[in-house]
Amino acid sequence: MREFLETWPLEFLGILSLLVFVAFIVGVIGIAVLYIVDVTQTAHAVRRNFPVIGRFRYFFEHLGEFFRQYFFAMDREELPFNRAERAWVYRAAKNVDRTIAFGSTRDLSKNGTIYFVNCGYPTLGEDAMPNHAVTIGPYSEHPYTTDSVINISGMSYGALSKPAVQALSKGAALAGCWMNTGEGGLAPYHLEGGADLVFQIGTAKFGVKDENGQLSEEKLKEIAAHSQVKMFEVKLSQGAKPGKGGIVPAAKVTPEIARIRGLKMGEDAISPNRHPDIANADDLLNMVNHIRQTTGKPVGFKTVVGTYDWLEEMCENIRHRGIESAPDFITIDSADGGTGAAPMSLMDNMGLPLRESLPAVVDMLCRYGLRDRIKIVCSGKLITPIGVAWALCMGADFVTSARGFMFSIGCIQALQCNKNTCPTGVTTHNPKLQRGLVPSDKAVRAASYVQNMNHEIGVIAHACGVPEARLLRRKHARMVLENGTSVPLDELYPEIRNEGVSTIQKIDHL
Ligand SMILES: Cc1cc2nc3c(=O)[nH]c(=O)nc-3n(C[C@H](O)[C@H](O)[C@H](O)COP(=O)(O)O)c2cc1C
C-alpha cells in the first residue's frame, strides 16, 4: 500500500498522458473525417470551401439569437416584442414593482406613437368605477355577460403544452376572464381550471366534426353542454397566416392530441385554408345561426381583415335577414399576430394591422346600425396597458392576447413554438422541458398579469378623466404623424353616428 502511494502520482500521470494521447488521436481522426465529408459534399458551399471551420457558422448563427437578446439588443429594439414590453409583462405576472426610473426609454416623437390626453382634473381614486359588464349574444338562449376586458386568445392544446393549458385555464378562472380553446378542440385541461371558455371552431372543425368531416350537431351539443363553454367562435382566419389553416407539426402531435383532434399519429395537423362550407356572406350567417340555434350560446367569428367588401356584404345581408341573425361578436386579429407555425410570407406581408382594421370595422358597424348588436373583440400585440387602452379608445369591447399570456407563464420569446423544443415548456410536449412549468405557480402569474393590466388601464382612464376603462373614447388619445406632431384620434377617425349607436353613445345610453 505504502509502495503504491509513493508511486501513484507517476502511474496517474502515465494514465493521464495516455488518455490525452488517445483523445488527441481520436480528435485528429474526427477532424480528418469531417474534412473529407465537407470537401466532398456538394450541398453547402461554405463547408466545401472552408472544411470543418465552416461548420462553426451554424453554431454561431444559433447562439446569435440568444446573445442578441441578452447582451446586444436595446430595450426597445427587438421584434416581435422588445425587452421593455416583455419585462413589463414579467413584472406584472410576478406582481412586483412595475415603476421605472429616470425617464422613458421610448422615442416619443416617432410616427404612430400614441399619446393619451390627460385632463386638467383626473378622476379621483374614490370616484373610480369597476369596468361595467357587457352582454354578448342577446338573441341567443344563453347570452354571456362579463366585465372582463382582457381575455386569453385562441391557442390550441397541441400548439400549447398540457401544463401551459392547465396554468392558463386556472389563471383565467382566478382572474375572472375567459380563455379561448383555439382550434384544436376541447381538452380536459381547458375545463379543469374552471374558467369561462370560448370554443373555437377552426377550418378542420377539430372536436366537432363527424366521421365524414362535416360539422356534427351532436358534438356541438356535447360541447355546449359544458356550462363553462360560454360562446363559440368560428375561425375564418388569423393574423399571422391569413388564407392558411392551422399547422401543428407532426413532432408535436402526441397520441392524446391526435385523439382529441381525430388525427393519425406521425402526420402534421394541417387545417384547410378555408371552411369548405363557408364561401360567402350567406354561408357565414347560416353557419353562425346554425351553431347558435344548436348550442343556444352566442356565436361570433374571428378574422384578420384584408379587403372590407365581404364584411360590407355581410352587413347588407344582416339588414335583410334581421338584426338577430347577426354574429354576436367579431374578433379582429392583427396582421402582426402570433402563431405556433406559419409561412413567413403570410406572417410578414398578408393582411392589415389592427391600427387600420379596428377603426374601419367599428365604423362600418356604426354605419349599418350594428355597433351595439355585434361586440368587437380584438387582438394583436396588445400585451401592455398602452395597447389595450388604445384599443378601447378605438371602439373595442374586449381585448384578447395570446403572447402576453405566454409571457406571463414563462415564455422567453425563444421563437421555437413550431418545434418541440420550447425551453420553457410552454409549447413543447417533451416532458423533460415541461417540468419547468408548474401549473399551480404559473396560474397565479397569469391571474396577476390580468389584474395588473386592468389596474394600469384604469390608471390611464382616470388620468384621461373617465371613471373606468370602458369609457375611453377616441378623443382621449392622439397619434403622432410623420411630421412629428400629433392629432386627436377622433379627428383622424371621425365618429360615425348616422344609423347606429356610435362608439361614443354605445356606453352612455346604458
Ligand atoms: C402558439 C400560438 C398558437 C395559436 N393558436 C391559435 C389558434 O389555434 N387559433 C387562433 O385563432 N389563433 C391562434 N393563435 C393566434 C392568437 O390567438 C392571436 O390571435 C394572435 O397571436 C394575436 O395575439 P397576440 O399578439 O396577443 O399574440 C395562436 C398564437 C400563438 C402564439
Give the three-class secondary structure for 484: coil
Which atom of ligand 1 is the closest one to the Cα of 233?
11
Does any domain span residue 78?
no
pLDDT score, position 133: 97
The x, y and z cell numbers of residue 306, run together, are: 384584408
Between CA 323 and CA 127 the distance in angstroms is 37
Among 6-15, 159-168, 304-313, 433-442, the range scoring the smallest mean pLDDT is 6-15
Q: Is the pLDDT assigned to residue 486 strictly greater than 90? A: yes
Does any domain span residue 507?
no
Same domain? 131 vs 62? no
Does any domain span residue 209?
yes
Between CA 307 and CA 293 the distance in angstroms is 29
Same domain? 347 vs 457? yes
pLDDT score, position 502: 43
Estimate to the nearest angstrom the gap between the alpha carbon of 409 and the chain centroid: 13
List beta partners, residue 235.
302
Residues 253-261: contacts with CB under 8 Å, at least 24 apart: 253/158, 254/429, 256/187, 257/157, 257/158, 257/184, 257/429, 260/157, 260/158, 260/184, 260/185, 260/186, 260/187, 260/206, 260/207, 261/158, 261/184, 261/185, 261/204, 261/206, 261/207
pLDDT score, position 289: 98
Same domain? 412 vs 322? yes
Quote the mean pLDDT of the chain.
92
Q: Is the pLDDT assigned to residue 109 strictly greater than 80? A: yes
Does any domain span residue 104?
no
User: In a mutational test of the pocket of ligand 1, which residue from 339, 378, 381, 449 has the highest number of ligand atoms less than 8 Å from its CB?
Assistant: 339
Does any domain span residue 369?
yes
Q: Is the pLDDT assigned to residue 5 strictly greater than 70? A: no
Does any domain span residue 81?
no
The x, y and z cell numbers of residue 400, run together, are: 384578447
Same domain? 158 vs 35? no
- Residue range of the domain that includes 297: 125-492
Q: How far is CA 115 from CA 101, 138, 452, 477, 488, in A?
A: 20, 35, 21, 6, 9
Sorting pLDDT into bands at 50, 70 and 90, what band is 505?
Answer: very low
For range 35-54, the mean pLDDT: 92
Q: Is the pLDDT assigned to residue 506 strictly greater than 50? A: no
pLDDT score, position 185: 96
Among 39-48, 140-149, 354-363, the range scoring the smallest mean pLDDT is 39-48
Sorting pLDDT into bands at 50, 70 and 90, what band is 497?
Answer: low
User: In a mutational test of the pocket of ligand 1, which residue from 149, 155, 183, 232 has the highest number of ligand atoms less than 8 Å from its CB?
Assistant: 155
Ligand 1 centroid distance, CA of 499 (Å): 34
pLDDT score, position 74: 82
pLDDT score, position 375: 98
Sorting pLDDT into bands at 50, 70 and 90, what band is 503?
Answer: very low
Q: Which of 43, 72, 101 is the last residue of a domain?
A: 72
Sorting pLDDT into bands at 50, 70 and 90, what band is 412?
Answer: very high
Q: Is the pLDDT assigned to residue 2 strictly greater than 80? A: no
Same domain? 353 vs 468? yes
pLDDT score, position 3: 64
DSSP characters over 448-482: HHHHHHHHHHHHHHHHTT-SSGGG--GGGEEEE-T
Between CA 434 and CA 450 the distance in angstroms is 23
Same domain? 259 vs 398? yes
| Positions of E strands within 213-341 | 229-235, 247-248, 269-270, 299-304, 329-333
Ligand 1 site residues (CB inside 6 A) read: 153-156, 159, 182-183, 200, 235, 238-239, 246, 302, 333, 337-340, 379-381, 383, 401-404, 417, 427
Sorting pLDDT into bands at 50, 70 and 90, what band is 509?
Answer: very low
- Around Cβ 51, how many Cβ atoms within 10 Å? 18
Which atom of ligand 1 is the closest one to the Cα of 331?
19
Same domain? 64 vs 144? no
Contact between residue 98 and residue 473 where contact means Cβ atoms under 8 Å apart: no
Q: How far is CA 215 from CA 184, 204, 208, 233, 287, in A?
A: 14, 9, 6, 14, 10
> What b/e readout covers 463-483, taking b as 16+ CB neighbours within 10 angstroms?
bbebbbbbbbbbebbbbbeee
Summarised one tens digit per residue, pLDDT across range 156-214 is: 999 999 999 999 999 999 999 999 999 999 999 999 999 999 999 999 999 999 988 89
Same domain? 443 vs 331? yes
For range 88-114, the mean pLDDT: 91
Q: CA-CA-CA-CA torsion for 86, 89, 90, 92, nearest 10 degrees? A: 160
Q: What is the DSSP letter of 289?
A: H
Ligand 1 centroid distance, CA of 233 (Å): 13
Does any domain span residue 432?
yes
Residues 6+ apart with CB under 8 A from 76: 82, 83, 84, 105, 106, 107
Q: Is the pLDDT assigned to residue 501 strictly greater than 80? A: no
Same domain? 62 vs 211? no
Question: Structurally, how many domains does the chain consist of?
Answer: 2
DSSP characters over 204-236: T-TTSB-TTSSBPHHHHHHHHTSTTEEEEEEE-
Q: Is the pLDDT assigned to residue 482 strictly greater than 60? A: yes
pLDDT score, position 105: 85
Same domain? 68 vs 191? no
Sorting pLDDT into bands at 50, 70 and 90, what band is 504?
Answer: very low
Ligand 1 centroid distance, CA of 155 (Å): 5
Ligand 1 centroid distance, CA of 401 (Å): 8
Ligand 1 centroid distance, CA of 154 (Å): 5
Does any domain span residue 107?
no
Among 56-70, 122-136, 444-458, 484-498, the range scoring the smallest mean pLDDT is 56-70
CATH number at residue 454: 3.20.20.70
pLDDT score, position 1: 61
Same domain? 327 vs 473? yes
pLDDT score, position 193: 96
For range 442-451, the mean pLDDT: 98
Between CA 100 and CA 149 the distance in angstroms is 25
pLDDT score, position 119: 96
Q: What is the DSSP letter of 153?
A: P
Q: pTM of the full predicted structure?
A: 0.91
Sorting pLDDT into bands at 50, 70 and 90, what band is 500?
Answer: very low
Between CA 140 and CA 35 the distance in angstroms is 70
Between CA 2 and CA 353 the distance in angstroms is 81
Same domain? 30 vs 133? no
Ligand 1 centroid distance, CA of 240 (Å): 8
